[in-house]
A and B are shown apart, each in its own frame.
Chain A
């Protein structure tokens, strides 16, 4: 039996239906779960807040595609705007717009979770889940000969400095090197949820409603009895008059970190640390000017990574190094300059490379991360206080990134401070020491959101148990990046896939 994908905005009447499982969200967690459950013969309804966009919609035009495919039309940020948050909102969730980088959950993270939180997870126990995911999504190492010039800067710079760096793995099949991963793959080469597990789920009978925002989970006597959703206009963040009520036997919240804790808060499920320990893997960047063309908008956006600085000791925040693609709007909004300075910088964009340091937050005792809460009008609020350990890491990372640029042949390096630090050689690196670091002193980004519904072994200190089941609502599971209590130190998508793959069995047993 084949299911369907339908925009809730096109429903001719309110919907009231029952099913075995209602999955809220169609991204890395939701789609992986939905496919496994539908293939077991269960009736599955998927609610996706974003629209249903496909390859025909993916034009590589940031002006159209970013508002179309990202949370808050691309404007999501912490409440003080200190951290810009890139998070997908479309069928396929963040996987439709991510840069395809795949890492297994590192052993050191499993060890940290076992030691700090008593979790029964291990690399060995997850091996079959990683293997299944990697086969379905065609996760494989990228080819060094196809590394683009932007990533070549990181690879060459690291090698010249004797720093570890390696080719990373991507979930693509027939990649055309178009460089459009961040605005949706026009070739369906990216093995996102949109073209894999969502299709598997629908092929096995799941019904997916796009433009359907889950407003709250109705709970009675410790059981989730209904999910109340509202149909959204397709092109505006406005609710229509159309309502959906799904009455499932089991609910899976998979809206991603930030949205899942917000859903629980809207549902009155405030027991435990809901919304707390929100981690953002905060990113800082340094650009470099090169005599040769870089054209960082073309080719695989990320194909090289270095984890040489991920373990900086127990009291220091580690970071890993990657690159960011250089699209015009992303660059112009990332560089907090204006006027002729902005214009002249943008004019040379084709010769600019961008290296980033992604901080693994939440692993030191000092860091408690951020918080998701609700504004009085219902909008989501994200606060992310900057811990001193993070400031220290940013300072160190700036030096590392600048050194890499000069080792790779840059003629100039520039920070993303509100007043950029401009360096013409390594001799200028001390200029970075004098610069201010912290909130609203320089650009900070987040492409990885984690925490807010963290797992644990006690109801008082966590939201879900080791099987990702809500401690107080027995037929509610949370299956997305919100369950991780720390940063991962790697791009998180494969970890979310694997945890979702593992969760299928417990969820099916709960039906």
Chain B
């Protein structure tokens, strides 16, 4: 059966639930919480923090570019999720939980820590492991997060200014 966003979540979260019985300590590992920069519409504080950590590595900024946190990529994604059907938003929030889970991390990559508490280099490694995985479901999950964060980042005016994008051509009146 072709993997879907739904089956990705069901599989990963289901696996995590089974293991949690013998790994309570892992389940209780806290996320590194960051304060939302505005009122959240879909995400809760933990989900916002996980997404902020992911966005910080997908769009790290630097060298003249603003960081993901400086332009609140996680908040911009939250606003987009609010416009999508509830089922789609629920899939994304479920995915964030799977990505953060130390149990899923331990099972798949030997990482027994929450994603948000990992060091930046380690977070980059986690992203690469999802991107390069032999499991197509993990590559699907990576692409979902890459698209959401990149879309939110590379449409912000400060980012476009930094890359020298001057916006659409003002156009010229040329009869055809």
Contact = CB atoms under 8 A, between A and B. Distances in A.
A140 B176 CA distance: 9
Contacts of B155: 61-63, 328-329
A346 interface: yes
Contacts of A237: 83-85
8 contacts: A79-B2, A143-B176, A174-B176, A176-B171, A333-B151, A343-B60, A346-B163, A418-B139
Interface stretch (A179-187, A216-224, A261-269, A497-505): A179-187
Closest 9 A-B residue pairs measured CB to CB? A63-B155, A60-B168, A176-B171, A178-B171, A79-B4, A332-B154, A332-B150, A440-B139, A338-B58
Nearest to B92: A75
A431 to B, nearest CB: 17
B144 interface: yes
A236 B82 contact: yes
Contact of B168 (A80, A180, A332): A180
A109 interface: no
A385 B57 CA distance: 31
Given A81-B143, A179-B169, A338 B127 contact: yes
Given A174-B175, A328-B155, A339-B124, A333 B84 contact: no
A303 to B, nearest CB: 12
Interface in B138-176: 139-140, 142-144, 146-147, 150-156, 159-160, 163-165, 167-176
Interface stretch (B61-69, B97-105, B109-117): B61-69
A165 B174 CA distance: 25
Given A62-B155, A328-B165, A440-B139, A340 B60 contact: yes
Given A80-B140, A179-B169, A343-B59, A172 B131 contact: no
Given A336-B131, A347-B163, A175 B174 contact: yes
B82 to A, nearest CB: 7
Contacts of A375: 6, 87
Contact of A349 (B88, B132, B165): B165
A339 B136 contact: no
Interface in B113-128: 124, 127
Given A72-B88, A237-B84, A336-B146, A173 B4 contact: no
B153 to A, nearest CB: 7
Given A339-B124, A381-B4, A187 B139 contact: no
A75 B151 CA distance: 10
B107 interface: no
B39 interface: no
Contacts of B106: none
Chain A contact surface mostly: loop
Interface of B: 2-6, 57-63, 65, 80, 82-85, 87-88, 124, 127, 131-132, 136, 139-140, 142-144, 146-147, 150-156, 159-160, 163-165, 167-176
A428 B31 CA distance: 45
A439 interface: yes
A61 B160 CA distance: 11
Nearest to B136: A440
Interface in A412-448: 418-419, 439-440
Interface in A117-143: 138, 140, 143
Contacts of A143: 176
A385 B59 CA distance: 31
A339 B82 contact: no
A82 B139 CA distance: 9
B83 A67 contact: yes
A40 interface: no
Contacts, number: 164
Give the interface centre of A173, A339, A342, A379 by most chain B CB atoms within 10 Å: A339
Interface residue range, chain A:
35 or more
Contacts of A346: 154, 163
Contacts of A385: 2
A346 to B, nearest CB: 6
Given A329-B150, A347-B163, A418-B131, A173 B136 contact: no
A298 B168 CA distance: 7
Contacts of B169: 176-180, 297-299
Contacts of B136: 80, 439-440
A235 interface: yes
B150 A297 contact: no
A440 B143 contact: yes
Given A346-B163, A375-B87, A379-B88, A81 B57 contact: no
Contacts of A338: 57-59, 127, 131, 146, 150
Given A81-B147, A178-B171, 16 more contacts: A60-B167, A63-B151, A80-B2, A80-B3, A81-B140, A138-B176, A140-B176, A174-B174, A236-B83, A299-B169, A328-B160, A329-B151, A375-B6, A377-B87, A419-B131, A439-B136
Nearest to B167: A60
Contacts of A59: 168
Contacts of A235: 83
Nearest to B3: A80
Contact of B5 (A81, A176, A331, A343): A81
A375 to B, nearest CB: 7
A329 B139 contact: no
A143 to B, nearest CB: 8
Given A67-B80, A338-B127, A343-B60, A75 B154 contact: no
Contacts of B172: 176-177
Contacts of B143: 81, 336, 440
A73 B84 CA distance: 7
B87 A342 contact: no
Interface centre among A179, A237, A419, A440 (most CB of B within 10 A): A440
Nearest to B155: A63
Nearest to A375: B87
A339 B60 contact: yes
A74 interface: yes
A273 interface: no
A387 B83 CA distance: 34
A74 B170 CA distance: 24
Interface in A317-332: 328-329, 331-332
